[in-house]
Structure 1
Amino acid sequence: MYRLWWGLILLFIITIIYFNIFILGNKKVIIAFYPYLLGISGLLGLSLAGIYFTSDFSLIFKVLFILFFLFGVFTFIQICRNKQSLNNYYLERNQYLEQLTELAKTDTEYSLKDKRQEGISNLIERTSGLDLTINNQAEPIFKEEDIFAEMLAQLKEAEDHIHICFYIIRDDQIGQKFKDLLIKKAKDGVEIRIIYDRLGSHQLGQKYKGELRKVGIEIEAYNDLVTSILRGKLNHRNHRKNVIIDGKVAFIGDVNLGDEYITGNKRESIQVKIEGEAVSWMQKVFLLDWYYVTGDQILERRYFPEQNMKNRLPIQLITTGFDTPWSEMNKSYFALITAAQEEIYLVTPYLVLNDNILTALQTAALRGIDVNIITSKKTDSILLSWSNMSFFKKLLKAGVSVYHYQDEFLHSKMLLVDKEILSIGSANFNTRSLYLDYELNIVIFDQDFSNKIMEEITLNLEQSKKWKLEDYQQLGILDKLKLLIGRLVTPIN
């Protein structure tokens, strides 16, 4: 028993080291292989069980040596294979993107309001490769029931094609409504492609997918469990959420396809409906994802119809993923925060900050910017809630206003700067969104649109509890222990 306790303590220490080792190396590379590092921890756990049940240390050592050797070789091979495949895919992706861009080229001349906005736009273009678009119109949709109703209404109007990407698709009431409508549209001759994340949608059954495929709908998963393990990509997911209809109308935001957005512990969400030139870029992003999951490069002009939008609304997309060199979302968030001149409003369900984003927020508050962060008290994980709160102290000390949304699960992901620059989409302020997952946001450079979003943020503030530094300091020992645990597991959140 004595040896077992010491073994458990050793296991705990090694696990903490694994959770924090990313600080010492390239974050994308290290945190991508947590599943394999945790596998080694599992082997150590087996060794502890062996010590407890037998005294034949020679046998235990031989078995463990073989297991560790095989697992270590497997992990090393996966790292090498993954690095090479990422390089190859990134080159091929860029070549395909150039072809798509040439196919749907626009000659629109544009200029932004000031040098600050131009600087942010330049950063996005140089890291993501996505140009600013000007001729657009956009409408925010705030109620979840209205979001799904408007999506379904637009899907009914589809004449040529429908492209859908969700992290989660569920076989529930909402999922059935979408499935039935898509089947009807497919029978009417509309071409339909669907991408879903295999782990995010692990409960989606073969019956649901089979009914779609039976009528000619193409539905493909981003990396199933076995493929993810063999390719070293278990920790990489496609977290994007977008719908494109006929290349003319698109939806982007934070909703997945499931009843949890309208029933039970509802997820408070925002979706943006877009028409205009920005839809063409959303189409390109979808086709790049389709190329990843199928290997098919689609180059047809009909997916990029002429956009006759005369309304002026500057919109630029930001894509990010584990296979790109710039950590685009991280850099864009950093640029937006440091560009603020008056105020910042950050809304996110998951507040797991890396050093540079944390420093940027602290610095903004210390130089007199009104920095406000709204995060959800209710999340889908106790550990995530603890992780969120573990950052409150450093933020409060710098003068950041921190709010806990009390009503339901606040699922929106937004960064609003000076009520004139807005980033909104699928990316959270956490490790997964900044380094691991495929994400898609839009940045809108417009005061009128930002004011509409600010009205919703004001409602969120009214339903939130504002934290004070003394509130944090008065937490009990048990609460502080929870926050310590939350901080230890932040690298995997």
Structure 2
Amino acid sequence: MLSVLLFFVIIWFVFDFYLGRKKHLSIVSRRETAIIHGDFDIFTHGKKLFADYFHELQSAKKHIHVLFYIVKDDAISQEFFNILKEKARSGVEVRLLIDRLGSLKVKKAAIQTLREAGVRFAFSNNIKLPFLFYSSQIRNHRKISIIDGEIGYLGGFNVGKEYIDEDPSVGIWRDYHLKITGRSVNFLQTEFLSDWHEYAGEDIMGNPAYFPDLADGQVRHRFVPTEAQQLEQNYLTLIQQARDSLIIGTPYFVPCQKILAALLAALKRGVHLSIIVPFAADHAFVQEGSFPYLRKLIQAGANVYQYKKGFYHAKTLLIDDKICDIGTANFDKRSMYLNKEINCYIYDPAFIQRLKEILEKDMDDSVPLTLAVLNKPNPIRSFKECIASLVSYFL
């Protein structure tokens, strides 16, 4: 009886996921900018980022719009909430959108106090009928903040103690996060308001107060939001453009077969491929899920670096020192097929040189992953690789 029930549950999961994804693909549309101009700064350390971010939040005069995937229940999260409540009480319009499952630790009492202070709060990606399993897997992984319509933040950091190096089990957190000013902040605002309309049910896109007249900055770039299957094609296009070098930085390396084939083809045509991943994993099976792909790439000539000076959570691609991609998307199937993400493609030589120096420093703080290590007999690791291959979509 139990085996029959399990069989029907599995069948239900499969059909729920298949039909849910089909429906999602039928309604999704592409939203990306042409080449636009802004001014950029980049943060690689959480304490410096949050010192700057909290200062800008406290300096807000009109409105604060924030979207995070993860907000925890700890000291820095409380500080973040307190700033938002203080600004709301002072008359600043504050909206906060967080992912339902990513921010599961945020308690109802905390939400109530935010709302009582005047913060407009909503969850993104609630589990809903008719596709319960599929909707439970679709996460809003974007991290966007817009302050007074003039300052934007985008990148890999969430809100929690691990992101400011206060979780001993993780150590120093290495990530890349952009601070953006100039006319292109308007698009980040548009993206936030689009998500807010979808999840909070409030359509305020037409309010001109959210879109001040800003000057162009110096850095050529474009923003590319993705969901459903869009990111896969974007990555394929970037990889196929590479002629000399390609650097990938990601905490989770679990590509689809099309992406793996494109990387192998790049190596075959002489592209120097380097991949930076963490030395230690922060989630079960994600590292073992990467090993089969990394093994094939190392065999074909790729260099893989395992970052040892803490946990590596950055999300970036650097192609031929001509294009860099920094954003919220990991180099894995979950980001390619399930998550809502937003990335920034940057074409400015000076900024690219700055990022390249960061990447070179991160590779210096890493150890090479070799075939000798990957092929050393290890029954436990082999078992985990098998399990990871079965659930690679959901790692």
What TM-score do you get using the length of structure 2 for normalisation?
Answer: 0.91
Contact 2:128 2:135 in 1 (8 A): no
Q: Mean Cα displacement is larger for which, 281-290 or 225-234?
A: 225-234
- Partner of residue 160 from structure 1, selected from 45, 59, 62: 62
Q: Mean Cα displacement is larger for which, 478-487 or 343-352?
A: 478-487
- Partner of residue 214 from structure 2, selected from 307, 325, 331: 307
Contact 1:222 1:293 in 2 (8 A): yes
- In structure 2, the partner of 1:119 is none
Listed one character per residue, the Cα deviations across residues 218-248 of structure 1 (whole Å, up to 9, x for unaligned) are 1100133466964841111111111111111
- In structure 1, the partner of 2:315 is 413
- Partner of residue 427 from structure 1, selected from 307, 329, 335: 329
In the aligned structure 1, how far is the partner of 2:270 from the partner of 2:24? 46
- In structure 2, the partner of 1:465 is 367
Contact 2:16 2:132 in 1 (8 A): no
2:48 matches 1:146: yes
- In structure 1, the partner of 2:299 is 397
In the aligned structure 2, how far is the partner of 1:78 from the partner of 1:343? 37
- What code does the residue aligned with 1:306 have? D
Structure with the larger helix share: 1
Identity of aligned residues (%): 31
- In structure 1, the partner of 2:193 is 287
1:368-387 pair list within 5 angstroms: 368-387=270-289
Residues 194 and 385 of structure 1: CA distance in aligned 2, closer, same or farther (over 3 Å):
same
- What code does the residue aligned with 2:203 have? Q
Contact 1:132 1:314 in 2 (8 A): no
Give 1:410 deviation, angstroms: 0.5
- In structure 2, the partner of 1:208 is 110
Q: Mean Cα displacement is larger for which, 133-142 or 230-239?
A: 230-239
1:155-304 pair list within 5 angstroms: 155-225=57-127, 230=132, 232-262=134-164, 263-264=166-167, 265=170, 266-298=172-204, 299-304=206-211
**Paired positions, count:** 390
In the aligned structure 1, how far is the partner of 2:155 from the partner of 2:57? 17
2:225 matches 1:319: yes
Residues 304 and 378 of structure 1: CA distance in aligned 2, closer, same or farther (over 3 Å):
same
- What code does the residue aligned with 1:316 have? R
Give 1:420 deviation, angstroms: 2.3
- What code does the residue aligned with 1:304 have? F
Residues 230 and 470 of structure 1: CA distance in aligned 2, closer, same or farther (over 3 Å):
closer
Q: Mean Cα displacement is larger for which, 414-423 or 76-85?
A: 76-85
Query: Over aligned residues, Cα RMSD in angstroms?
Result: 2.5
Listed one character per residue, the Cα deviations across residues 98-131 of structure 1 (whole Å, up to 9, x for unaligned) are xxxxxxxxxxxxxxxxxxxxxxxxxxxxxx3322
Q: Which runs of 4+ in 1 moved over 6 A?
A: 70-75
In the aligned structure 1, how far is the partner of 2:20 from the partner of 2:260? 34
Residues 134 and 380 of structure 1: CA distance in aligned 2, closer, same or farther (over 3 Å):
same
- In structure 2, the partner of 1:436 is 338
**Structure with larger Rg:** 1
- What code does the residue aligned with 1:412 have? A
Contact 1:183 1:212 in 2 (8 A): yes
Give 1:202 deviation, angstroms: 0.8
Contact 1:168 1:197 in 2 (8 A): yes
- Partner of residue 250 from structure 2, selected from 348, 369, 387: 348
- In structure 2, the partner of 1:117 is none
- What code does the residue aligned with 1:441 have? N
Give 1:277 deviation, angstroms: 2.1
In the aligned structure 2, how far is the partner of 1:201 from the partner of 1:313? 33
Listed one character per residue, the Cα deviations across residues 35-79 of structure 1 (whole Å, up to 9, x for unaligned) are xxxxxxxxxxx614xxxxxxxxxxxx7xx59x94x9968986897
Determine helix, strand or coil for the equivalent of 1:335. Answer: helix
Residues 148 and 203 of structure 1: CA distance in aligned 2, closer, same or farther (over 3 Å):
same
Residues 350 and 367 of structure 1: CA distance in aligned 2, closer, same or farther (over 3 Å):
same
Listed one character per residue, the Cα deviations across residues 343-364 of structure 1 (whole Å, up to 9, x for unaligned) are 1110000000111111111111
Residues 474 and 285 of structure 1: CA distance in aligned 2, closer, same or farther (over 3 Å):
same
Contact 1:341 1:369 in 2 (8 A): yes
Give 1:211 deviation, angstroms: 1.1
1:88-127 pair list within 5 angstroms: 90=28
Give 1:80 deviation, angstroms: 5.8
Listed one character per residue, the Cα deviations across residues 387-414 of structure 1 (whole Å, up to 9, x for unaligned) are 1222221101111111111222101100
Residues 464 and 307 of structure 1: CA distance in aligned 2, closer, same or farther (over 3 Å):
same
In the aligned structure 2, how far is the partner of 1:74 from the partner of 1:313? 46
Contact 1:416 1:423 in 2 (8 A): yes
Residues 231 and 246 of structure 1: CA distance in aligned 2, closer, same or farther (over 3 Å):
farther
Contact 1:344 1:416 in 2 (8 A): yes
Structure with the larger strand share: 2
In the aligned structure 1, how far is the partner of 2:322 from the partner of 2:242? 10
